[in-house]
């Protein structure tokens, strides 16, 4: 397999993941929640939102561990207003990703990234991509192994 050149590896450790399930019929739930995080000075390191097959919104967020309690309290305080059915926390996660120019026009990068983690048997809790990055939330204990595998899989500067 030919190696793909990337701009580098991004890693942010010491995170806590929050999963908010079952939001239904609240088109402004994300706006309400994210606005409150901003007002309370909680920086979100990772955000993924989707609508599941039953029409419920699911949000996966990651915050610095030092903000975990406040973030959880914010979500619990807004749970009724946003219509969330459940809130789950996962401690000791990391956001690990790759970046580079023109990811939006270079096919195969996300697949290679996820395959690399999968081959190392690293569980992936969430994935987020943009035009220049591909990131995943993984267990913090897996970061070293994941970085080593990514460095072997891609051409780094």
Q: Model confidence over 65-95: pLDDT tens digits?
A: 999 999 999 999 999 888 889 999 999 999 9
pLDDT score of 18: 97
Q: In terms of domains, do 34 and 104 share one?
A: no
Q: In terms of domains, do 75 and 108 share one?
A: no
Q: Model confidence over 106-129: pLDDT tens digits?
A: 888 899 999 999 999 999 999 999
- The secondary structure of the chain as a DSSP string is ---EE-SEEEEEEEEEEEEEEEE-S-TTHHHHHHHHHHHTTPPEEEEEEEE-TTS-EEEEEEEEGGGHHHHHHHHHHHHHHHT-SEEEEEEEEEEEEEE-TTGGGSTTHHHHHHHHHHHTT---SEEEE-SSEEEEEEEGGGHHHHHHHHHHHEE--
Whether residue 39 has pLDDT greater than 90: yes
Q: Find the CATH number of the domain harbouring 140.
A: 3.30.70.260
Q: In terms of domains, do 109 and 74 share one?
A: no
Q: In terms of domains, do 52 and 21 share one?
A: yes
Average pLDDT for 126-142:
95
């Amino acid at each position: 397999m030919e190696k793909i050149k990337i701009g580098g590896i991004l890693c942010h450790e010491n995170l806590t993941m929050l999963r908010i399930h079952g939001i239904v019929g609240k088109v402004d739930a994300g706006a309400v929640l994210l606005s409150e995080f901003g007002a309370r000075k909680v920086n979100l390191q990772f955000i993924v939102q989707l609508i599941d097959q039953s029409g419920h919104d699911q949000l996966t967020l990651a915050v610095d561990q030092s903000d975990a309690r406040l973030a959880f309290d914010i979500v619990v305080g807004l749970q009724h207003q946003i219509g969330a059915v459940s809130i789950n926390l996962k401690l000791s996660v990391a956001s690990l990703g790759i970046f580079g120019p023109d990811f939006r026009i270079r096919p195969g990068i996300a697949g290679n990234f996820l395959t690399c983690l999968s081959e190392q048997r690293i569980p992936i809790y969430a994935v987020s991509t943009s035009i220049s990055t591909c990131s995943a939330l993984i267990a913090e204990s897996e970061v070293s192994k994941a970085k080593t595998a990514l460095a072997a899989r891609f051409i780094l500067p």
